[in-house]
Chains A and B, each alone.
Chain A
Amino acid sequence: MQDLNTEIRDIIAVIIEKKPEEITPDARFFEDLGVDSMMALEILAAIEKKYKISIPEEKLAQLTTLNQTIAVAKEYMSQTNG
């Protein structure tokens, strides 16, 4: 699963224009990394596209850290895989 974590971190890094190493697992998106609601939407859409999953927009509020984002992605990836 290391690959998935790294992939998601790199997707986020590109969108929020930070170095991947700055996005530590528990760095807070809004407070620590300057993520705004537009970027959060973009992160959600990028993960949906990359992994061909659909994540409801209610889940946006849970995308608060890298770890949380990975958890949400995994939840919907496991649903897709049955």
Chain B
Amino acid sequence: MDNVLDIEKIQELLPQRFPFLLIDRIVELAPAQKVVALKNVSINEGFFSGHFPGRPVMPGAMLIEAMIQASMVMFYSGQVSAVGRKPLYSLSSMKAKFVYPVFAGDQVRITVTAGKSAPGAAMVSAVASVEGKETVRAELIFRSEL
């Protein structure tokens, strides 16, 4: 299997840690253009104890967060900051369509593609799928600042 960035490399790029690091592997990476990330959803995820007892459905907000983290890998991998510091990206707004739920045991494939950008702002299209079936698609707009 392709393994462009393993979990150690991902942790070098992203500040998020357990229990909030929501991507496990990057299998495709075109810096600043496109990234494909995998998230293996285990029954041991903390949120499943309450969402929902007896029916482990991954919260949509967590899937959006996984898309955000995949986007950050795409942004950071394409950048060598002139001032030696990574710009900070934060979500400004988004539109999402939740098509099908994600359950414990699923492997989510998140494809993120860069859209238009402006000084201080960047747009991203993201699609999450499980075994080829689309689960979420979203348009995210990020604010970036040094």
Contacts of A81 in B (CB 8 A): none
Q: Are A60 and B118 within 8 A (Cβ)?
A: yes
Interfacial residues of chain A within 17-35, with CB under 8 A of chain B in the complex: none
Q: Are A44 and B120 within 8 A (Cβ)?
A: no
Contact-residue bracket for chain A: 10 to 19
Q: Which of A37, A42, A44 is within 8 Å of B119, CB to CB? A: A37
Contacts of B142 in A (CB 8 A): 38
| Min distance, Cβ B86 to any Cβ of chain A, angstroms | 19
- Is A4's beta carbon under 8 Å from chain B? no
Contacts of B116 in A (CB 8 A): 41, 44-45, 57, 60
Q: Which of B92, B119, B139, B143 is within 8 Å of A45, CB to CB? A: B139
- Is B81's beta carbon under 8 Å from chain A? no
Q: How far is the CA of A41 from the CA of B114 in the complex (A)?
A: 13
Contacts of B118 in A (CB 8 A): 37, 40-41, 57, 60
| Min distance, Cβ A47 to any Cβ of chain B, angstroms | 12
List residues of B whose CB falls within 8 A of some A CB: 92-93, 115-123, 139, 141-143
